[in-house]
Amino acid sequence: MRFASAPREWLNSTVRFGNVLTVLAKHGFAGLLRGEEHWPTPVELREAFEELGVVFLKFGQVLSTRGDLLPREYIAELEHLQDRLPPEDPQVIRSTIESELSDNIKRLFRSFDEEPLAAATIAQVHAAVLPDGRDVVIKVQRPGLDQRIAEDLAVMAFLAATLDALVPAARGYDAPSIVREFHMTLLRELDFRREAHNIRRFRSVLEDVERLTIPAVIETHSTSRVITIERAHGERLNNYVHAHPEAANALARRVLHLFLRQVFREGMFHADPHPGNFLVNDAGMLFLYDFGMVGEVDASERETMIDLLRATVQGDSRTAAEAYLDLGYVGPGADRQAVRDEISIFLRDLREQPVSELSVGRTLESLLRLGSRHGVRNPGSLLLLARAFITLEAVIRQLDPELNILEVFGEELPGLTRKRFSASQMAADAVDMARNIDRLVRQAPHDLRRVLRRLNEGDLGAVQVREHPSVSGERERAVRLIIRTIGSGFLTIAGAVMIVGAELSITDWRLLLGVALLGVGLMGMAATGVLEKLKW
């Protein structure tokens, strides 16, 4: 369903719309529906979502990750939403599998267990055995979701627009945008081909991690609504540690190092690292499951996140504030100075806590909440990362309550720093810089002509500059970078020109001077890259 078709869906969903309004009114939303600033309690909000079914359940789960928007008591209550429904009729599941895989289930599998291993809102999971004897698990999407999702998203879109129009206090939350983002998230989750793609990617980038296995997708038995995966035999992470307490510390460290590698080295991370998605067998092999929810951060975001976390731990409020502002979208209404001031106060209070009690996830969530109050729009990748950190830290605390999470993070920093300043990485950065400079040089004449034309027309004041998330906080550094780059580039070019025009003789002063200029220019370019990495 295209989101733009929502008005037509509203007309086709009047019965569902009336049902939703009735349930919301029953659970404390009557005031809001009348345009009053009367908010339901956290329990009322949870109960309403549970009664409204699949789509609202998923929406509540998404809202439970938005610690930057909702008070903690609402977040805590929404975390209790149960992602479980009664299982579908076995015959319906069989029909779905046969329709998707275009074959009889008896030919597709040697055996198929009709009793589901799990029954969640979107899909349920069954055990089976392939004709070749391999044990597998099959995730099958519940039937009839498309129509319900279309109806409920149309209702949500209307309610969000109404809330935005009638309740001034709600406008800062931008409810229509939240619903649109949820719509896109839900569509991605409904396409099991994305999960299959994620599994292939993670298997590729983590194949060198010792004693880690990510079960493979059975491609011949997978579609957009059915996904079949190799089955691992082991115990849930927390159950394994309960039976093997001597392995708790080492296993907690392995899990944390694995997550940090995903985020800061590979740029993609398992966004739902709860205990049920980890299995451990008797040999200590770790299995990682369920890649339906995956977060991604690009190279620039990873470097800025490292700077943010390091500065936060060290109490460097200036660097932490600038790093955070680099990550978010700072619109024209945002108060940058208020963000800096509050981060300074926040880090001062943070330093008073024992280091062993600090939570990376909660700290990151607090920073996001702080920025949101002052008009900073937080990127989805950072929101997902904060939530994943919180989930993972809860797992770590179950395994080993005494583990110092920041200490483990500190163990990762040297490797991250080496990679950041490695020859291969700097060479890649140099190529990117060369591309940017080339693009700037090619576009400059056109931009200059446009400015001169506006100046000649007396219309220069009409030129508008759109503020980009990373521009406004980087102006001074950008100017220094341009000056360094131009100066180093001039010396490099001048040296090369002199060498080309000189004779290959050590007595030719042009050759000696050219080599010297070329060397100084190249060293200057290298130093520019290093200083840019250090944000100087």
Active site members: 272
Cα separation, 398 vs 204, in Å, equals: 29
- Assess contact for 337 and 325: CB atoms under 8 A: no
Cα separation, 225 vs 92, in Å, equals: 13
Give the DSSP letter string of 449-493: HHHHHHHHTT-GGG---PPPTTTTTSHHHHHHHHHHHHHHHHHHH
Alpha-carbon torsion 383, 386, 387, 392, what sign?
Answer: positive
Three-state DSSP string of 399-432: HCCCCCHHHHHHHHHHHHHHHHCCHHHHHHHHHH
Three-state DSSP string of 297-358: CCHHHHHHHHHHHHHHHHCCHHHHHHHHHHHCEECCCCCHHHHHHHHHHHHHHHCCCCHHHC
Cα separation, 223 vs 219, in Å, equals: 8
Within 8 A by CB and 6+ apart from 408, the residues are 253, 256, 257, 260
Phi and psi at 109, nearest 5°, equal -135, 145
Cα separation, 67 vs 382, in Å, equals: 11
